[in-house]
Amino acid sequence: MTGTVKHTHWSKWKCPSNIALVKYWGKRDFQKPMNPSLSFVLQHAFTETSVELHKDGDQKVEFYFDGLPSSFGDRIEMYLDHVSTWLPWVNKYNFRIHSCNSFPHSAGIASSASSFGALALCLTELDFAISGKETDSPEFWKKASELARMGSGSACRSVYAGFSIWGQTQLFEACSDEHAIPLLDGVHPVFYGLQDAILMVDSGIKEVSSSVGHRLMDEHFYQRSRIAQAHENINKLYLALLTGNQLEFLEVVENEALSLHAMMMTSNPSFILLKPNSLELINRIRRFREKSKIPVCFTIDAGPNIHLLYFQENELDVKAFIERELLAFCENRKWIDDGIGNGPEKLMN
Ligand code: PMV
């Protein structure tokens, strides 16, 4: 059934970025992961996107970022062309899309995750409205996650609150390569208040795009061991999340961050994305943990910036430590104060 009632023509969503604790690195087929990953969504780093469907003129996609026309529209057009196989109505309309981020482009936060997350939520809402389906259903989120994945793999983990898992694992049957699933039940309350201080070492353009990076795993000498390691780490991390085992959490998270970088360093061609100040921050975080016995750890994306993870009950001590010992190694003393978030939000105007 198709309908064209007015409210089906417009949708707006706010969607957060996410940071992986077990890293997705390497693809199979179209935007499917070589290994499972586990992440949490941020609270303050998000994208807001509105999509308006219309039939004026002949431009397929008008894309505005911060109110100005942007070349990202070309990537969106290719994406829409691809998803039209699943959403045939896409071919019948032109798109006017407005988007903005709560964080600067150079902040070292994955903007593709929040951007494609927000766009996919708009498309899913439009799709459900056009076909008269109930939006308040698990089916809705699954579809949004799947559409987000087709734009940027890690974006599929941005559509849920808190923690989520993407990729087949032995943990649950529901785990899938097609979409992420939320980790709703059983996470120990100690992790509800997980904090993320993003320490900006270098806000320059990434030396290696994630699509080039993923491709490096195709022929990687350590491919099989890396896949096995990710499965083992996701099992350990999930158990730590259930039991509130902070020490195990810290160990797995650091192991994953360094393994991601080890894969990049040992691929062909090889990339070293960590900077001297990244290493200085890592060493200081470890020394602080050893001396103070406060449970802190780091994770790192495919770049030089360091995410310092800690727990709410230690906020004052950790913030004093950041101020006292870490900001000297950040670009212009810049850091972003973030933490685990409540997931996407539908916006009404
Ligand atoms: O979603 P992509 O293609 O930008 O890849 C993201 C890869 C990492 O951020 C390095 C890891 C992850 O799981 O998010």
Give the span between the Cα atoms of 15 and 17, in whole angstroms: 7
Q: Ligand 1 mean position to 318 CA, how many Å?
A: 27
Measured from the CA of 302, which atom of ligand 1 is nearest? 10
pLDDT for the residue 4: 44
Test site for ligand 1: of 19, 23, 212, most ligand atoms within 8 A of the Cβ: 23
Using CA positions, which residue lies closest to atom 9 of ligand 1? 301
Q: Ligand 1 mean position to 57 CA, how many Å?
A: 37
Measured from the CA of 23, which atom of ligand 1 is nearest? 13
What is the residue-wise DSSP string for 218-250?
Answer: TT-TTHHHHHHHHHHHHHHHHHHHHHT-HHHHH
Measured from the CA of 27, which atom of ligand 1 is nearest? 3
Q: Ligand 1 mean position to 315 CA, how many Å?
A: 28
Q: Ligand 1 mean position to 61 CA, how many Å?
A: 26
Give the span between the Cα atoms of 141 and 138, in whole angstroms: 5
Q: Give CA angle at 21 (18, 23), nearest 5°.
A: 90
Q: Ligand 1 mean position to 24 CA, how many Å?
A: 6
Q: Ligand 1 mean position to 8 CA, how many Å?
A: 32
Using CA positions, which residue lies closest to atom 6 of ligand 1? 154
pLDDT for the residue 184: 81
Q: For the chain of 349 residues, list the mean pLDDT of each consecutive stretch of 10.
A: 55 98 96 98 97 92 95 93 96 96 80 96 96 90 98 97 97 94 93 96 84 95 98 98 98 98 97 97 98 98 96 98 98 96 95
Greatest pairwise CA separation for the chain in angstroms: 65
pLDDT for the residue 259: 98
pLDDT for the residue 5: 43
| Contact status, residue 306 vs residue 201, Cβ threshold 8 Å | yes
pLDDT for the residue 204: 81
Give the helix/strand (H/E) hosting 80.
Answer: helix 72-83
Q: Ligand 1 mean position to 153 CA, how many Å?
A: 7
Q: Ligand 1 mean position to 250 CA, how many Å?
A: 20
Give the HSE-up count for residue 171: Cα atoms under 13 Å, Cβ half-sphere. 25
| Contact status, residue 297 vs residue 285, Cβ threshold 8 Å | yes
Pocket (CB within 6 angstroms of ligand 1): 20, 23-25, 37, 110, 112, 152-154, 210, 260, 301-302
Q: Ligand 1 mean position to 14 CA, how many Å?
A: 20
Q: Ligand 1 mean position to 164 CA, how many Å?
A: 14
Test site for ligand 1: of 301, 305, 306, 307, most ligand atoms within 8 A of the Cβ: 301
pLDDT for the residue 33: 98
Measured from the CA of 37, which atom of ligand 1 is nearest? 13
pLDDT for the residue 8: 60
| Contact status, residue 143 vs residue 28, Cβ threshold 8 Å | no
Test site for ligand 1: of 21, 22, 24, most ligand atoms within 8 A of the Cβ: 24
pLDDT for the residue 1: 38
Burial of 111 (0-12, 13-18, 19+ CB in 10 A): buried
